[in-house]
Copies of this chain bind each other. A is one copy, B any other.
Amino acid sequence: MKAFESKKSGRGSKIVVLVILVAIVGAGFVVSTLTPAKGAIGVGDNPYTRPYPMKHGYWKHQEEFYAFASGGQQGGIYVYGIPSMKLLSEIPIFNIDPAWGWTLANKEVKEMLTDPYTGEVVTTGDTHHTILSRKDAKYDGRWLFVNDKKSARMARMDLDTFRTKQILWLPNVNGGMHGFHSGPNTKLLVGNVEFEGYPEKKIRDYLNIPIDKLKGPYVSCVFGVEVAEDGTMKNKWQVWGPWQYDMVRVGWGAMDGWFINTAYNTERSVNTVGMFKRPEDYVFFWNIASIEKAIADKKYITSDEAPDVPVIRWKDVECYAAPCPLNPHGLDLEPSGRFAIVGGKATTIVRHIDFLKVKAEIDAKNFVGEEFGIPIISGDKTSGDIDAGLGPTHIEFDNEGYLYAGFFVDSDVKKIAMGGPWTKKHGKEPWSIVDTIPAHYSVGHLLVPGGDTAEPYGKYLVIMNKLTKDTFPPHGPLVTECHELVRIDQTPCPLIDQMPLPPETHYAQAIPVEMIAKKTKFIYDMKLPPKKPNVVYDYGKKEVHVVMTAVRSFFIPDSFTVPEGWKVNLTLTNVEQSYDISHGWALCDHDVMESIDPGETKEIVYTASREGVFWYYCLWFCSELHLEMRGRMIVIPEKEWSRDLEWKAK
């Protein structure tokens, strides 16, 4: 127990040893060893002992939560189980991933990855903030949203298929979107643009504040996205102002009807050092109804790029600023919606801001100043500080009145008893540190299942570390990430597992298995009867339209001819009705590769650019005849082509 001999947790290890010894002499011990089950307490009070030999499907019965973690520069979403910490799936979004059927040859995918404002296809992304949809500020298991920081895009995944169904692009900005969060019923999503921009002249003129293209300063915006009943996202409004915005939370409970966000660069600088000049920055409080009123009152313009999206001035809506510790990053809302918790990442301070007090100051119009017309609320009257450690990053919450704050420099997580009404629940000194959980190393985001909702599930904490170093065997200069699973329904909080995961997750959320498992789709609904396999030649457009089916172990048709240089438009249906019988379609010597699941139809578009015989083949080892599941595209030079060479039904 070397790792636990440190001062911080030495006490904890002794307690655990004692519990183990007690458990060993317990009569129930033998039985529980032989029949480990979900939640059973077995050997040495270790609820995570697994059977040996292992039983088939063991992990399935152990899983309590699905975790959805943004992949960062990987561009998609990782799905893993808690407490197994095993990677279950990946959801491709802003990346190319033929293993999950996500390529530019796929017509639907290419359309989603095409910027409607520039026409450019962008196949790389930087996923940051996952948003599980919610009802009454609690997860409801309908959708998962996530944003791409690099290109300012947002995606919606359906949680019955675990696949991306929509990508929405943000107009008027050149990327750099950061925070992203949902209202309590996922009718409104709010996003922040972190990187200051130089928008089109119409917007610059409307804002009427100093902007210099070469030297800065620039301007930025917070924006709203409307979510329809079927999940369809639509850009609803943008509020532009002098500052950039980083993290955002849309309020519930005590903060219903408001959202809050941070700006770490209130200096409006364009370089690293300049962004640290002020001793404190701001948390902003925005009244959502005031934005809707500005639109109703026609207090907005629209840009040439997006004539349907209202662009509103910051000073035409109700917004207030409160001081916050230097260069904040983590900004989170505790379950009752009353206390906003913010960490100044270049300080040792975690600040709790009481929205009831903020509201009282607003109602009394009691301000200590203004900047760019935004009233400033007294920090002394509305907040308190915890001097908790170096480099506070993100904050999550359990259901017992504790917050968990990660510290990048200290490489630990502080478990802190909250004040206000929570004091009665946990009985600890308000805003006091009750445990220090070591992390390995340099904590970024945290995940507590439901930890950003009105009713956290608690029990587990996942620490998403930014550095891993020597935690796993060496594997070259680029090091895997490390997610650490910790049990938090006891103090001290024991480490359960360390999980390597490809770089680099930012935020993650977790939802109970039963909320998703019961609604999962196993087979797509196939339109019956499926289209009859066919090949049609369009000599006007120089296009071949191929309708093809896939079933163990045949593609029908198993060959077709096409004149060189023509476009091929292939409609491919997997007519299987068996779970897990996916097929692939790869075209040799072409950049074309797809995956089609049972009952699914996909449209594949490419050019038959070179003459020759090119096999297409199944990518999934679908039966013992899988290798033989292949067919031929025969490309004939146009000058050798005649209608006699057309494919004909046998």
Interface contact A579-B16, CB-CB below 8 Å: no
Interface contact B52-A627, CB-CB below 8 Å: no
Q: How far is the CA of A246 from the CA of B16 in the complex (A)?
A: 56
For A476, the chain B residues whose CB sits under 8 A away are 89, 160-163, 520-521, 597
Interface contact B74-A99, CB-CB below 8 Å: yes
Interface contact B327-A628, CB-CB below 8 Å: yes
Q: How far is the CA of A521 from the CA of B476 in the complex (A)?
A: 5
Q: How far is the CA of A58 from the CA of B485 in the complex (A)?
A: 13
| Interface stretch (choices A290-298, A370-378, A379-387, A498-506) | A498-506
For A440, the chain B residues whose CB sits under 8 A away are 56-57
B interface footprint on A549-591 (CB within 8 Å = 1, 0 otherwise): 0000110001101000000000000000001111010111111
**Is A536 part of the contact surface with B, judged by Cβ < 8 Å?**
no
- List CB contacts (< 8 Å) of A30-70 with chain B: 30, 33-35, 43-60, 63, 66
**Is A101 part of the contact surface with B, judged by Cβ < 8 Å?**
yes
Interface contact A63-B474, CB-CB below 8 Å: no
Interface contact B589-A174, CB-CB below 8 Å: yes
Interface contact B477-A272, CB-CB below 8 Å: no
A496-B52, A589-B174 known; A520+B474 contact, CB < 8 A: yes
Interface contact B475-A593, CB-CB below 8 Å: no
**Is A480 part of the contact surface with B, judged by Cβ < 8 Å?**
yes
Interface contact B56-A72, CB-CB below 8 Å: no
**Is A75 part of the contact surface with B, judged by Cβ < 8 Å?**
yes
Q: Which residue of B lies closest to A46 (CB)?
A: B52
**Is A126 part of the contact surface with B, judged by Cβ < 8 Å?**
yes
Interface contact A554-B272, CB-CB below 8 Å: yes
Interface contact A213-B613, CB-CB below 8 Å: yes
Determine the interface band of chain A, counting residues with CB < 8 A from chain B.
35 or more
- List CB contacts (< 8 Å) of A85-121 with chain B: 86-90, 95-101, 103, 115, 118, 120-121
**Is A614 part of the contact surface with B, judged by Cβ < 8 Å?**
yes
B interface footprint on A70-87 (CB within 8 Å = 1, 0 otherwise): 011111000101000011
**Is A209 part of the contact surface with B, judged by Cβ < 8 Å?**
no
Instruction: Determine chain A's interface SS by DSSP, over half rule.
Output: loop
**Is A12 part of the contact surface with B, judged by Cβ < 8 Å?**
yes
Interface contact A475-B89, CB-CB below 8 Å: yes
**Is A630 part of the contact surface with B, judged by Cβ < 8 Å?**
yes
Interface contact A617-B559, CB-CB below 8 Å: no
**Is A423 part of the contact surface with B, judged by Cβ < 8 Å?**
no
Interface contact B595-A477, CB-CB below 8 Å: no
Q: How far is the CA of A437 from the CA of B75 in the complex (A)?
A: 39
Which interface residue of A12, A497, A523, A600 has the most chain B CB atoms within 10 A?
A497
For A275, the chain B residues whose CB sits under 8 A away are 628
Q: How far is the CA of A121 from the CA of B589 in the complex (A)?
A: 10
Interface contact B477-A597, CB-CB below 8 Å: yes
Interface contact B124-A498, CB-CB below 8 Å: no
**Is A356 part of the contact surface with B, judged by Cβ < 8 Å?**
no
Among B151, B600, B621, which residue has its beta carbon within 8 angstroms of that of A477?
A: B600
Interface contact A99-B471, CB-CB below 8 Å: no
**Is A450 part of the contact surface with B, judged by Cβ < 8 Å?**
no
**Is A404 part of the contact surface with B, judged by Cβ < 8 Å?**
no
Q: Which residue of B lies closest to A486 (CB)?
A: B53
Among B73, B79, B470, B473, which residue has its beta carbon within 8 angstroms of that of A593?
A: B73
A81-B473, A96-B123, A272-B558 known; A479+B588 contact, CB < 8 A: no
**Is A494 part of the contact surface with B, judged by Cβ < 8 Å?**
yes
Q: How far is the CA of A59 from the CA of B631 in the complex (A)?
A: 46
CB distance from A6 to the nearest CB of B (A): 10
Q: Which residue of B lies closest to A586 (CB)?
A: B150
**Is A346 part of the contact surface with B, judged by Cβ < 8 Å?**
yes
A474-B517, A479-B579, A582-B477 known; A500+B614 contact, CB < 8 A: no
Q: Which residue of B lies closest to A23 (CB)?
A: B33
**Is A634 part of the contact surface with B, judged by Cβ < 8 Å?**
yes
For A617, the chain B residues whose CB sits under 8 A away are 176, 195
**Is A451 part of the contact surface with B, judged by Cβ < 8 Å?**
no
Interface contact B600-A151, CB-CB below 8 Å: no
In addition to A126-B593, A161-B476, 5 A-B residue pairs with Cβ atoms within 8 Å of each other are: A34-B44, A44-B52, A63-B472, A73-B619, A74-B97
A-B CB contact pairs (8 Å), 20 listed: A3-B56, A21-B30, A34-B44, A55-B495, A57-B470, A74-B99, A120-B591, A122-B590, A175-B589, A194-B627, A195-B588, A213-B634, A214-B634, A272-B558, A275-B628, A327-B625, A442-B621, A476-B521, A479-B582, A504-B621
